Amino acid sequence: MTLSAFAQIPEDVLKYSWVPVNGTARVNAIGGAMGSLGGDISATFVNPAGLAFYKTSDIVLSPGYSFLKNKSNFRGTNASDNNGLFNLGPTGYVSGFSGQGRWSKAFSIAVNRTANFSNKIYFTGQNDFSSAGEQYAAEIAGSGVFIEDVPGSNQVSYGSRLAAYNFYVDTASIPGHAGQDVISRAMFDALKNNGDFLVNQTQTTETSGGITEIALGYAGNLDDKLYIGGSLGLPIVKYEKKTTFREEDATGNADNDFNFNELSETFTTKGMGINAKLGIIVKPVEYLRVGLAVHTPTWYSFEDSYHGVMTTDLDKFRSTAGPISIASNQLPGETGDDPVYKYELFSPWRFMLSGAYVLNEIEDVRKQKGFITADVEYVTYKSNKFRDSEDYGGGGGNDTYYDAVNEVMKEYYKNAINFRVGGELKFTTLMTRLGFSYYGNPYADKSLKANKMYVSGGVGYRNTGMYIDLTYVQALQKDVNFPYRLPDKANTFATTKGSGGSIMLTVGFKI
């Protein structure tokens, strides 16, 4: 398939759904646990019923800055990289107004950076077990395409086409094997001589972009006992991923037909989507609030482009010594333009149950003393689904390819539970806040250890006509990164640990 091994791999899809709540400074300070609180523009993106707590109108601005350090371990070798980025929390306008009879209403229009893709990951280590070239050899061997025809074939991935063109993979006779095998050049001597295989492997990945969501929210309040709301979101996606993977001979043998191979790739994604959020909050007694919210899957429409450059040095294997390079758009049959692919993605469902205990709950919020709140969220990561955007009827195009990708995702992912808790104490016009959140492991394989934790704290000032909130959030993250995947042996991967902080300031004006 022309899309094989392009961008739709299990880890890539997580960037759209395995993300924390990004609220105002006040909401981030309490761990994002605001599903039953209301009275904050962040409700537009969490539980829209909370908008119905508004009695007046607010203009809100929430800028922020984050800095993250990633530490990796790849086959026993440690490495690290740093990254800093500006951020934007919920910013916009929200207004409460009287309705008919016992009802009051609220409306919001807001923009929020719901996901930020800016990141840097670096890892390096020695590998005596597998070669990156084996992924291309396995794909070519299973494709049924003669290796001489692979560079100009659209039945295999660009990586395999580049590898065949550069002789990074080739056919060879292996002792004990009948006929010719498609094999990685880096592995050839090891199989021929029953040993002598060792490579240094290094990968650098830099990502940028994010998801900026524009949302409209509407909610109603019945006697300050029942709050019902909904919002419509239009997320706009921009994503770029630059990856360089290098594999070089570490045996010290200068005449084994392999020196190094390096692949530099650039993936870009742009698109937009649509989603809905529905919620309800009830106050069975004055001091207790219970909330329930459902987030539908986001229906994304994407356009991807790809550009790759592979450089290979095979010692004395070629008559002409030295490295040779080829770009993906220079392969036989290519026009010189980078390929563009259009497809759709349906993100997971989210179900949220929330509760809050308010100290001194009375109608005059200035006299409330604080609160304790918590959210439990269930996310159906197994329901991530790709679809060919150019073939809605099925039975053609790339349906077979996407069906295979979707089945892989069902095997790789599991549904997970997220938990958020926080609290606030009020001292007349000043407030202090603390929070904690935990985002569970979405991978089904127990050997893949991944989670995200955030510890937060902040202060706030509220007086007639305005408010200012300042928050610091410390992130502690675990994830995995696969440099390549093999169908016939265990996959090697790097473990990554991210730590760092973010600062957010929210300024609001009542009008």
What residue ranges define each of the domains in the chain, with the CATH number in brackets?
A: 10-510 (2.40.160.60)
Nearest to 142 by CA among 187, 191, 182: 182
Q: For the segment 307-318, what is each residue's pLDDT rounded down to a tens digit?
A: 999 999 988 777
Q: Is the pLDDT of residue 214 over 80?
A: yes
Nearest to 458 by CA among 442, 441, 470, 445: 470
Q: For the segment 402-436, what is each residue's pLDDT rounded down to a tens digit?
A: 888 888 888 889 999 999 999 999 988 899 999 99
- B/e letters for 127-156, b = 16+ CB within 10 Å, e = fewer, are beebbbbbbbbbbbbebebebeebbebebb
Q: Is the pLDDT of residue 225 over 80?
A: yes
- Would you state the pLDDT for residue 390? 64
Eight-state DSSP code of residue 150:
G
Measure Cα distances from 410 to 1, 62, 414 in Å: 21, 37, 7
Contact present, 349 and 294 (Cβ < 8 Å) = yes
Nearest to 293 by CA among 221, 222, 229, 225: 229
Lowest-confidence pick of 162-176, 257-271, 412-426, 478-492: 162-176
- Neighbouring CB atoms inside 10 A of 41's CB total 31
- Would you state the pLDDT for residue 2? 34
Task: To the nearest 10°, report the CA torsion of 409, 415, 417, 418.
Answer: 30
Contact present, 441 and 448 (Cβ < 8 Å) = yes
Output the DSSP codes for 295-342: EPPPEEEEEEEEEEEEEEE-TTSSSS-S-EEEEGGGSTT--SSPPEEE
Average pLDDT of span 383-408: 72
Contact present, 409 and 384 (Cβ < 8 Å) = yes
- Would you state the pLDDT for residue 308? 95
Q: How far apart are CA 220 and CA 54, in angstroms?
A: 10
Contact present, 192 and 181 (Cβ < 8 Å) = no
Q: How far apart are CA 142 and CA 78, in angstroms?
A: 35
Torsional sign, CA 362, 366, 368, 373:
positive
Measure Cα distances from 272 to 45, 47, 119 in Å: 16, 22, 21
Lowest-confidence pick of 246-260, 289-303, 418-432: 246-260
Nearest to 247 by CA among 310, 199, 184: 199
Measure Cα distances from 273 to 29, 70, 88, 109, 386 in Å: 29, 30, 19, 17, 13
- Would you state the pLDDT for residue 195? 64
Please state, for a pLDDT cut of 90, what percent of the chain lies above it. Answer: 61
Q: Residue 137: how many CA atoms within 13 Å on its side-chain side?
A: 22
Mean pLDDT of the chain: 88
Eight-state DSSP code of residue 207:
E
Average pLDDT of span 186-206: 80
Q: Is the pLDDT of residue 374 over 60?
A: yes
Distance, CA of 371 to chain centre: 32
Alpha helices in 184-337, H assignment, sequence order = 185-193
Contact present, 242 and 205 (Cβ < 8 Å) = yes
Would you put residue 141 in left (φ > 0), alpha (ψ -120 to 50) or beta? alpha
Q: For the segment 112-121, what is each residue's pLDDT rounded down to a tens digit?
A: 999 999 889 9
pTM over 0.95: no
Vertex 445 angle, CA 440 and 450, to 5°: 35
Contact present, 207 and 243 (Cβ < 8 Å) = no
